[in-house]
Amino acid sequence: MSGPHLSEQEVIRREALAELRNLGIDPYPPEAFPISHTPKEILSQFKDEEAEHWTEVSIAGRLMSRRIQGKASFAVLMDSGTRIQLYFNRDEICPGEDKTLYNTVFKKLLDLGDIIGVKGFVFRTRVGEITVHVTSFTLLAKSLRPLPMVKTDAEGNTYDAFSDPELRHRMRYVDMLVNDGVKDTFILRSRIISSMRRFFDSKGWLEVETPVLQAIHGGAAARPFTTHHNSLDMPLYLRIANELYLKRLLVGGLNGVYEIGKMFRNEGMDRTHNPEFTSMEIYVAYQDYHWMMTMTEQLLENIAKEVLGSTQVEFDGKTLEFKGPYKRISLFDSILEATGVDISQMDEQALREQCKAWHIEVSPEMGRGKLIDEIFGEKVEASLIQPTFITDYPLIMTPLAKKHRNKEGLVERFELFINGKEVANAYSELNDPIDQRQRFQDQLELANRGDEDAMALDEDFLRALEYGMPPASGLGIGIDRLVMMLTGHRSIQEVLFFPQMRPQKDA
């Protein structure tokens, strides 16, 4: 399990484990350890003038540091990220002649990282620190590996942080324990998602679950992970999107549905891409993408207020403002604004020449839509720091969106950009089954021309549309990226507990 070679410190801890058993102490006792307070409650609620109410507390946590001074000791116990100081006194722990419990068990056989429970009273030390004066302690779980020792001084400077990204991500449990703030990000992540749920639920929209294993990987342009069902003896794909299933539910009469869940895309990994990622997709009947922009503003503003207590987030020295309304500008206008060039009327050849003039690398198989996308990515995207809606995309890039009500060749689509990254994508959803079939067929042609990502045709989805889908607007939000924006992280790995990594040689 733990490899052939134990380090010196691991050997010593195993010896301590055996010695504890010799003394009749179970290092992993089965009994519950009832807790009266958390360290956080003690630190926030204790008042010196009410010390008589704090004579019997029972707390538990991990031993994070120890300062032994002969017959007395100070230690730090951490639980749920909050550290509280403990005071041990030999003659109070061991009132009789036998001082084993203090001299041997506490001083020699306990190690940093052990999980212990203590009972005692709360007081304030000379130096002013709220401290639990321990009258008895119980080992709850022995730790057999030394934790990285991260120290922080009075000014808040951190020394010897556990900083190797590989180790931090492979051993997130250690990262969370010893690096302050890591756990906070994940708590915020959880609150962001629950705030989003509350917002949707308060509108009466229904949270649903749709298949992760799909026979046809529709709804987005990406390569899938492939698996195999043994008894059906058929290939199945991990979903790259759930859009087509949620729309079937609109057909089925659910007028507001959303799903928060994992999507899987077999593509490259980098600072903003992980092979599995969390998306939120919502569809609301009888609405269009203009309505959806307003709803998105309200949603994000509400989350920021609820979770962060402010609509402003510091990011890399910039201040992101989540209070709506956000700037709304069409894709072509955003390019015009950034470059002074209007490309909206250019054909494929003209776009190609424009790319050349701007030194944007393009390949021959790129069509008009792809060229426009390249230009946008090169000239505009990175400059969209504040939340900005980019609207009205070329039809060819967007096979599931409704044609624009008055702009030829475009669809009713918007993407939300924050800090130069796409965070959300939404349409007025295409519900014309004849048009939808044609769009799928256009995709098939792209596929025949060698586009690996072209969307597959889903006959059952078309059948559903033929029964009639109410007009609707749909929105997808990349939860991981949204969390990055709201927590100020530049890497997706910092908002995923367990980002994808290559396997370790030997665990």
Partner RNA sequence: GAAUCCUUAGCUCAGUUGGCUAGAGCACAACACUUUUAAUGUUGGGGUCCUGGGUUCGAGCCCCAGAGGAUUCACCA
Nearer to RNA by Cβ, of 206 and 501: the residue is 501
Rounded least distance, CB 435 to RNA, Å = 21
**How far, in Å, are 64, 114, 279, 480 from residue 38 at the CA level?**
16, 17, 34, 30
Nearer to RNA by Cβ, of 150 and 208: the residue is 150
Nearer to RNA by Cβ, of 94 and 251: the residue is 94
Q: How far apart are CA 343 and CA 351, in angstroms?
A: 7
Nearer to RNA by Cβ, of 91 and 466: the residue is 91
C-beta of residue 399 within 8 angstroms of C-beta of residue 443: yes
C-beta of residue 134 within 8 angstroms of C-beta of residue 86: yes
Rounded least distance, CB 432 to RNA, Å = 23
Rounded least distance, CB 264 to RNA, Å = 9
Determine whether 65 is exposed, middle or buried from the number of CB atoms within 10 Å of its CB (0-12, 13-18, 19+): middle
Rounded least distance, CB 348 to RNA, Å = 17
Helical ranges in 46-145 per DSSP H: 90-93, 100
C-beta of residue 341 within 8 angstroms of C-beta of residue 380: no
Rounded least distance, CB 212 to RNA, Å = 15
Rounded least distance, CB 178 to RNA, Å = 8
Instruction: Determine the 3-state secondary structure of 321 from DSSP.
Output: strand
Centroid of chain to Cα 255 = 28
Q: Give helix then strand counts, H and E, for the chain.
A: 15, 20
Q: Which of 269, 221, 240 is nearest to 496 (CA)?
A: 269
Rounded least distance, CB 320 to RNA, Å = 17
**Dihedral of alpha carbons 501, 503, 504, 507, sign:** positive
Q: How far apart are CA 457 and CA 463, in angstroms?
A: 11
Determine whether 376 is exposed, middle or buried from the number of CB atoms within 10 Å of its CB (0-12, 13-18, 19+): buried
Rounded least distance, CB 243 to RNA, Å = 11
Nearer to RNA by Cβ, of 9 and 44: the residue is 9
Residue 297 φ/ψ region, left for φ over 0, alpha for ψ in the -120 to 50 degree band, beta for the rest: alpha
Rounded least distance, CB 177 to RNA, Å = 12
Rounded least distance, CB 465 to RNA, Å = 22
Query: Which amino acid appears at position 354 of this protein?
Result: Q
Q: Position of tokens 């955003």?
A: 334
C-beta of residue 303 within 8 angstroms of C-beta of residue 486: yes
Nearer to RNA by Cβ, of 431 and 493: the residue is 493
